[in-house]
Amino acid sequence: MPNQPLDEDGFHSIAWDDAPAHPVTSPFSEDDHEGFETISPTSPGRGESVASTSSAPAQSTSTKQRERHGSVEIDPSEWGGRWMSIEVRDPVKEHEGSKDMYVSYAVKTTTNLPTFAKPFVTVRRRFQDFVFLREHLVKNFPACVVPPIPDKHRLEYIKGDRFSPEFVERRRLDLQRFADRIARHPTLQRSQLVNDFLTSTEWTVAKHHHLSHPPPESHSSIMDSLSDTFINAFSRVRKPDARFVEMAEELERFEEGLTSVERLVGRGKTRVDDLSADYQDMAAAYQGLGYLESGITEPLNRFAEKMLDFSALLKHMNQTTVEPFLIQSHSLFAHATTHRAVIKLRDQKQLDFEELSAYLSAIVSERDRLAAVSSGHAGAPVGISTYLRDQVDKIRGTDDIHTRRERMRKLDGKIKELQDAVTTAHETSTAFSDEVIKEHTVFELSKKEEMKEMLQTYADGQIEMLQKGMDDWDRIIPLLQRIRVDVS
């Protein structure tokens, strides 16, 4: 994508490259790769979500030399020498006890991107700052899949105390997922706005600067200036691009599959909760039985205790494994929905080009018809509306050669304007399409990373629960086997 706007009058660059004009020197590398051609599909792990800015091949695991920067372990060869890690942690209540109380979060960035002056930096930001960041990234990078963050007015956030530890921790995890996706995105991670958000100690000043320097307006101004045409927002693209049709269908299938998985896991969570309650009831029954059978009271009580422990283990597994899985899968669904919205916006860009082209063709045909009539030749067949207008002009006496010449002169000017607009619309549509193709690659790699992490965490939690359950039952079974009951 070019860094400069395509047209100063309205049509503009699709993904603004607002990285600093003069990148600062990085302590890790001297050359700055402008392109983000490939993104390694391998993640260095939790808290190390980064994107490759080089296409250097990765070495084998046995030959890799890993580096540790703070709490992050990095393999330079795996990430082509460019990486970023963002941690959202340490929530603190500011102005506690007052009506202006809010929660701020420490945002720690570890990176060797040359656009950052320091490899390690920590700032404090509140939720509204994250909202500001996302809203302006969407404006500055309309062709990018800017990751979503949960709306503060969602029902989950309305319930209960929004300053409670549970609420704050859930919001922190939501913001962490947002930060991870920003860190993995090869365009957003080097944005000047992201740079200011992660490093500026004068964030309020930086926000005002971005507000006072908005991106150029959308090309809709040109469309609106063509008062003689009407663009139907519900029109369909005449020549759908198979690449983007396939993308949209693929995303739709992914969303359907993710919804089915969420439904199944949610049902399993409900059943585990019911099973946990059943184990509690059974434990109470065995405790009562132990008091009736004096000879085996202690073994039965031990057995009841293990049942209570297993019930608690099931609840713990739901809270630490299943609920985070459902939350993260819902977040991934929202991310996919954002991507589909970008594809839909691309279709609108193509539709703008098609509508402008059709309107230009109609104007050219009208101009040629008038020229033919003025020269004494029969014009091309016309529609009913044009025929009626010509008849009205004849009745009014305005259908003379001077009137036709004046109309032709005006049409010539409009044709020139439309030709420029069509050319710019085509450039914008093509640029937008190219950018969306890149975005799809970024999204797919990010999705694989998140799915891998999400499923691995879920599987590890299930295995841990089953292993602890087996260990507990292995210890209690020998005790139960030694019970002897006199039935005589």
CA nearest neighbour of 51 among 189, 194, 195 = 189
Tokens of 273: 């909760």
Q: Give the whole-angstrom CA distance, residue 425 versus residue 433.
A: 12
Q: Which two tokens stand for residue 391?
A: 């008849």
Reported pTM: 0.74
Structure-block tokens of residue 149: 């963050």
CB atoms within 10 A of CB 176: 19
Closest C-alpha among 102, 201, 185, 76 to residue 138? 185
pLDDT per residue as tens digits for the range 214-259: 876 544 444 444 433 444 555 788 888 999 999 999 999 999 999 9
Domain parsing of the chain, residue ranges? 259-481
Alpha helices in 107-236 (DSSP H): 127-140, 155-158, 165-184, 192-199, 203-212, 220-225
Distance CA 55, CA 35 (A): 9
Q: Which two tokens stand for residue 218?
A: 């959308």
User: In a structure prediction context, what are the per-residue pLDDT tens digits for the chain, which is 488 residues long?
Assistant: 444 433 333 333 444 445 554 443 333 333 333 333 333 333 333 333 333 333 333 333 333 344 444 444 445 444 456 789 999 999 999 888 888 899 999 999 999 888 888 899 999 999 999 999 999 999 999 999 999 997 765 544 555 577 888 899 999 999 999 999 999 999 999 899 999 999 999 999 999 998 988 876 544 444 444 433 444 555 788 888 999 999 999 999 999 999 999 999 999 999 999 999 999 999 999 888 877 777 778 888 888 898 999 999 999 999 999 999 999 999 999 999 999 999 999 999 999 999 899 889 888 888 887 777 666 555 555 555 555 555 555 555 555 667 777 788 888 888 899 999 999 999 999 999 999 999 999 999 999 999 999 999 999 999 999 999 899 888 888 877 877 766 55
**How many angstroms from the chain centroid is the CA of residue 376?**
62
Handedness of CA 231, 235, 236, 239 (dihedral sign): negative
Helical (H) or strand (E) element with 256: helix 242-292
Q: Tell me the sheet residues that pair with 68.
A: 73
d(CA 351, CA 429): 9
In the chain the first and final C-alpha atoms are separated, in Å, by 90
Residue 108 phi, psi (nearest 5): -105, 125
Q: Which residues, 6 or more positions from 181, have their beta carbon under 8 angstroms from its beta carbon?
A: 49, 147, 335, 446
Quick one: fold of 259-481?
Substrate Binding Domain Of Dnak; Chain:A; Domain 2 (1.20.1270)
Burial class, 188, CB count within 10 angstroms (exposed 0-12 / middle 13-18 / buried 19+): buried
